[in-house]
Amino acid sequence: MEAGYRLAYDEVVRALSQQAASLDGLRNRAGLLLSAASVATSFLGGTALRQEGLSAFAWLAIAAFIAHGIAVLDVLWPRREPEAAARPTDLIARFVEAAAPATRHALRELSIDLERVYVSRMTTADRLGYGLRVASALLSLEVAAWLMTIAVSVG
């Protein structure tokens, strides 16, 4: 039975590690999207805004840039996430100094606790992934709007 608990514990630790890497990857991509939007706005927006007045496409591009910034900041904004590490004081109280220490079930209890953290973080990861997809779409819309602004002013 101990081998089964060890397997469950090892798997949940591995899953949490992969999940943390995935969340870091989402945040890295969000930072890259913010950089791309800044470059697109400075080059394409600068060219488009040299014309007289702001067209509807220019306003659309500006609105998309602002919305993109908000979507990216939502992904990058620091948030308090459930801790995956067990606090030593809790471990000592639960498994060492308890009236009837259940050390043989320690791995089982830790596995269950860590699974709760994993499930809680899945919701966060799903929301951040959605925010990243929205930011990507807004960047595409922004670039298209800037290009339309330039095309209308030239042609």
Show the tokens assigned to 150. Answer: 């330039």
105 touches 18 (CB < 8 A): no
Show the tokens assigned to 28. Answer: 């890295």
Domain ranges of the chain: 2-154
Q: Indicate whether this model's pTM tops 0.95.
A: no
CA atoms within 13 A on the CB side of 73: 6
Show the tokens assigned to 142. Answer: 């922004």
Sequence-distant (≥ 6) Cβ neighbours of residue 40 within 8 angstroms:
139, 142, 143, 146
Residue pLDDT tens, the chain, 155 long = 577 787 888 888 899 899 989 999 999 999 999 999 999 999 999 888 887 778 899 999 999 999 999 999 999 998 887 676 677 777 777 766 666 656 667 788 888 888 988 998 899 899 999 999 999 999 999 999 999 999 988 86
